[in-house]
Amino acid sequence: MSEYPSKRSFFIGRWQPLHAGHIAIIRTALDEGRQVVIGIMETPPSRRNPFNLLERGEMFGLEFGLELEAGRMKVLPMPWIDEVCYGRDCGWRTRRIHLDPEIEAVSATEIRHELEAGTWRARSD
């Protein structure tokens, strides 16, 4: 038996806002049977960061409520970081999840501009 009870994936982000691209990469890990840990970085309010920590946590609750309730996902606040460092082989890896070009093209910056202009609407994917 492994020293560690399950496979987990860790996603770090500002999530300003949580959008279809974010949801797709997180669902990829969940669909692989992995538990998911989300780090929501604390950011001061600004044009680039219009949503506070609570609002972003609520976005995850709305989208992933069942997974959170089942213990398949945890959402944690974390301080702002600008790099992730590691030394020699430490038992974990980094991985980029590649999605369809249409989903990879989703931009939180564009969504924020639409929010400012009052033209943003939730899209069902």
Q: Per-residue pLDDT averaged across 68-96, rounded?
A: 89
Is residue 125 predicted with pLDDT exceeding 50? no
pLDDT number for residue 1: 54
Higher-pLDDT residue of 123 and 114 is: 114
* Distances, alpha carbon 120 to alpha carbons 83, 114, 115, 116, in Å: 31, 5, 5, 8
Q: Per-residue pLDDT averaged across 100-105, rounded?
A: 88
8-82+95-117 topology per CATH: Rossmann fold (3.40.50)
Instruction: Please say whether the beta carbons of 28 and 124 come within 8 A.
Output: no
Q: Where are the domains of the chain?
A: 8-82+95-117
- How far apart (Å, rounded) are the C-alpha atoms in residues 63 and 8? 19
Q: Is the pTM value of this prediction over 0.95? A: no
